[in-house]
């Protein structure tokens, strides 16, 4: 197949400005975050002061000291904003994607109030605890909501091909193509690949790297990376073949890129492993990447269990009227029981009974074989957009995932988690290979990365990749982000049928 390389190069050049002024979005974005953080912290502290001490509370002595509450509020606002800067919550490398930004915001909030609590205890200041108890949750939730608001706007801009960092990928075609496809499939991450550099043995003037998002032109070989970056106006270089490039060449390239204000990223070649499991440390003058094993025991398991049980119990309490109405609707709509119990496989391949509202006719399982030819899902899953077994009420409750709410009882009972891999059927697990079986290292969840990334619209391979990514990189903050995104996915009815 012939490729119009000159046309591809021209189209790429038309989409970039030719200079690095596009990075101005970063300074503007950070400035908006700074102003939002300052406004949220000020409002939270003043609101807590007013709720605790009233409109004239600024002059009231704070605890055992003669210092007025108003002065304590000013000091608290300054310390809170300093803590946000001290935890690097405005680091441009974490802004706009991933849970690390939110994690650092929460860390800053807990640090400043933890320090305040220790000072209060050591020096017996007796600062009103009600004041602190109000300011911390109001401010923390407000800060997270502000970050989420600006991130959502940034993602909308990136989907329109704005506020992107132009990337030149450096590596062999075999390693460059997967990175190019990943970045093209997720523009919200903020990267747009504008070219590639390959080994001299593979380079030719007409070469392009094929990808699902369109062929990417090869701009030169490894010795021409700096010239290629300047020519296309890229702001980032991503290296996928560090071994092919060589230690000395990488060092020289990093020095060259420093002079033209271009970021350098290096892929370690380990897919779907990130976060706290990865630690870079120098050994004999070489930077070595230390990768820890996934940790699911001890304090990690206790924290997750606590989040699951308390969260599920709270949701059941508030949703009880809805559960009763749905149960009545299911019973009136069609003959059969209100609940449907399905045997699923959970942690360490242990089977359990998963509860759902019945959304299909009685005996639907026995009709599945007859519908196998109409299966619209890939891999071992079975899905149909217009499944004739679904009842009238079933179509409504499935569209908004209301049929899955009774799984909260499974979470309270300990067989499921609020967040985790999709709970598989026994016949699916029997067909898993060794790689897919790693999903069973954690409890299955009511929601997960698969739920907030397309649900039934995902391919089998993508569902597996997302589940494995969750298992490899689990954290409490990631769970909280997924729960937040689940609310939007449910109301948007993304991939639900």
Mean pLDDT of 340-352: 90
Q: How, if at all, do strands 278-283 and 286-291 pair?
A: antiparallel
CA distance 334 to 337: 9
Mean pLDDT of 335-363: 90
pLDDT digits (tens, 9 = 90+) for 370-399: 776 666 555 556 666 677 888 999 888 988
User: Predicted confidence band at 290 (pLDDT cuts at 50, 70, 90)?
Assistant: low
Identify the helix (H) or strand (E) that includes residue 354.
strand 351-357
CA distance 91 to 311: 31
pLDDT at 274: 57
CA distance 275 to 476: 12
pLDDT at 15: 41
Mean pLDDT of 256-270: 79
User: Predicted confidence band at 241 (pLDDT cuts at 50, 70, 90)?
Assistant: confident
What DSSP state is assigned to residue 18?
S
Given a cut of 60, whether residue 336 has pLDDT beyond it is yes
Q: Which CATH code of 3.40.50.1980, 3.40.50.300, 3.30.750.24, 3.55.40.20 fits the domain covering 164-267?
A: 3.40.50.1980
pLDDT digits (tens, 9 = 90+) for 312-324: 999 999 999 999 9
Mean pLDDT of 341-363: 90
Given a cut of 70, whether residue 223 has pLDDT beyond it is yes
pLDDT digits (tens, 9 = 90+) for 144-203: 999 999 999 999 999 888 888 899 999 888 888 888 888 888 888 889 999 999 888 888
pLDDT digits (tens, 9 = 90+) for 411-425: 999 999 999 988 888
> Where do the H-state alpha helices sit in 54-99?
69-86
For the whole prediction, is pTM greater than 0.85?
no
Domain boundaries, given as residue ranges, for the chain: 22-159, 164-267, 299-492
Average pLDDT value over all residues in the chain: 80
DSSP string of 288-317?
EEEEPPP--STHHHHHHHHHHHHHHHHHHH
The values of phi and psi at residue 344, to 5°, are -125, 170
Q: What angle do CA 48, 67, 75 make, to 5 degrees?
A: 55
pLDDT at 66: 67
The tokens for 447 are 């929601």
Distance of CA 220 to the CA centre of its chain: 34
């Amino acid at each position: 197949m012939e490729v119009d390389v000159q046309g591809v190069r021209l189209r790429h050049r038309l989409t970039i400005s030719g200079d690095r002024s596009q990075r101005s979005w970063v300074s503007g974005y950070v400035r908006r975050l700074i102003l939002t953080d300052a406004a949220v912290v000020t409002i939270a502290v003043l609101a807590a002061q007013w709720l605790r001490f009233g409109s004239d509370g600024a002059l009231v002595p704070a605890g055992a000291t003669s210092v007025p509450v108003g002065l304590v509020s000013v000091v608290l606002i300054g310390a809170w904003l300093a803590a946000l800067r001290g935890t690097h919550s405005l680091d441009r490398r974490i802004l706009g994607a991933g849970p690390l930004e939110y994690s650092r915001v929460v860390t800053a909030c807990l640090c400043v109030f933890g320090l305040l609590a220790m000072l209060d205890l050591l020096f017996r200041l007796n600062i009103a605890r009600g004041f602190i108890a109000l300011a911390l949750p109001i401010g923390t939730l407000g800060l997270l909501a502000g970050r989420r608001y600006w991130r959502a706007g940034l993602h909308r801009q990136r989907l329109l091909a704005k506020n992107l960092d132009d990337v030149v990928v450096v590596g062999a075609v075999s390693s460059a193509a997967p990175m190019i496809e990943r970045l093209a499939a997720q523009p919200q991450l903020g990267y747009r690949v504008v070219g590639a550099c390959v080994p001299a043995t593979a380079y030719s003037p007409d070469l392009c790297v094929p990808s699902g998002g369109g062929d990417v032109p090869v701009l030169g070989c490894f010795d021409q990376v700096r010239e290629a970056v300047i020519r296309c106006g890229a702001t980032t270089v991503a290296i996928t073949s560090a071994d092919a490039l060589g230690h000395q060449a990488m060092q020289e390239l990093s020095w060259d890129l420093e002079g033209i204000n271009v970021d350098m990223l290096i892929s370690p070649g380990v897919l779907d492993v990130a976060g706290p499991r990865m630690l870079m440390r120098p050994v004999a003058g070489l930077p070595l990447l230390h990768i820890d094993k996934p940790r699911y025991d001890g304090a990690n398991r206790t924290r997750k269990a606590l989040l699951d049980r308390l969260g599920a119990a709270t949701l059941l309490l508030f949703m009880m009227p809805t559960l009763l109405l749905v149960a009545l609707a299911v019973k009136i709509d069609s003959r059969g029981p209100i609940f449907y119990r399905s045997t699923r496989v959970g942690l360490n391949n242990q089977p359990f009974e998963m509860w759902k509202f019945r959304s299909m006719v009685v005996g639907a399982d026995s009709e599945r074989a007859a519908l196998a030819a109409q299966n619209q899902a890939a891999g071992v899953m079975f899905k149909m957009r217009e499944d004739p077994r679904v009842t009238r009420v079933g179509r409504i409750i499935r569209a908004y995932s209301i049929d899955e709410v009774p799984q909260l009882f499974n979470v309270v009972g300990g067989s499921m988690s609020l967040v985790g891999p999709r709970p598989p059927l026994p016949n699916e697990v029997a067909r898993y290979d060794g790689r897919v079986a790693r999903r069973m290292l954690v409890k299955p969840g009511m929601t997960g990365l698969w739920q907030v990334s397309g649900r039934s619209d995902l391919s089998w391979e993508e569902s597996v990749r997302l589940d494995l990514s969750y298992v490899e990189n689990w954290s409490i903050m990631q769970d909280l982000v997924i729960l937040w995104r689940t609310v939007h996915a449910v109301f948007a009815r993304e991939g639900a049928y």
